[in-house]
């Protein structure tokens, strides 16, 4: 289903951790606003666009990056059923939109992202 929701960068980070690396990412990075992560392979890709970013540490298939002023984040699930883009609107607030699976909706809710608007359901 196609969704859109306004949410903060921190909420998107919590969603990405829940969806991709909950058991891999050390707590020192998870709780620090300066750090995000990327997964650079084509399947299950997480890409961060920021004014400044620097690789900090590689943990399995995750690359921890230090960032400043995040402009956008692209997420594609390993299954390929979810393809989301978050774009900064102002400061830490942005808009997340794209195709989302049922599992992704659960992970968004777990991350504290509410008021998800379904724009178009599959097959309708």
DSSP codes, 61-97: TEEEEEEEEEEEEEEE-TTSS-EEEEEEEETTEEEEE
Q: Which of the four pLDDT bands, split at 50, 70 and 90, describes residue 4?
A: very high
- Summarised one tens digit per residue, pLDDT across range 24-45 is 888 898 889 999 999 988 778 9
Q: Return the pLDDT at 24.
A: 83
Overall pTM surpassing 0.85 (yes/no): yes
Strand partners, 29: none
Q: Tell me what pLDDT residue 124 has.
A: 52
User: Which tops the pLDDT comparison, 122 or 6?
Assistant: 6
Which pair of structure tokens corresponds to residue 52? 């400044």
> Within 13 Å of residue 48, how many CA atoms lie on the same side as its CB?
25
Domain ranges in the chain? Answer: 2-120
Give 47's strand partners. Answer: 74
Q: Is the pLDDT of residue 117 over 90?
A: yes
Q: Cα–Cα distance between 7 and 95 in angstroms, integer?
A: 6
Cα–Cα dist 32/61, whole Å = 20
Using a pLDDT cut of 70, give the percent of the chain over it: 98
Q: Say which range, 23-27, 91-95, 106-110, has the weakest mean pLDDT.
A: 23-27
Distances (CA, A) of 108 to 29, 33, 58: 20, 19, 25
* CB-based contact 62:38 (threshold 8 Å): yes
pLDDT tens-digit readout, 74-92: 999 999 999 999 999 999 9
Question: Which residues fall within 8 angstroms of residue 97, CB to CB, at 6 or more apart?
Answer: 2, 3, 4, 5, 84, 85, 119
């Amino acid at each position: 289903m196609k969704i859109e929701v306004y949410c903060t960068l921190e909420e998107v980070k919590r969603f990405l951790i829940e969806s991709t690396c909950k058991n891999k990412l050390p707590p020192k990075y998870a709780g620090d606003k300066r750090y995000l992560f990327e997964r650079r392979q084509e399947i299950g890709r997480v890409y961060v666009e920021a004014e400044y970013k620097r690789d900090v540490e590689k943990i399995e298939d995750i690359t921890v990056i230090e960032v400043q002023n995040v402009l956008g984040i692209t997420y594609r699930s390993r299954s390929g059923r979810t393809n989301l883009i978050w774009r900064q609107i102002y400061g830490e607030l942005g808009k997340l939109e794209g195709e989302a699976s049922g599992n992704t909706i659960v992970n968004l809710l777990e991350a504290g992202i509410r008021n998800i608007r379904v724009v178009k359901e599959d097959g309708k």
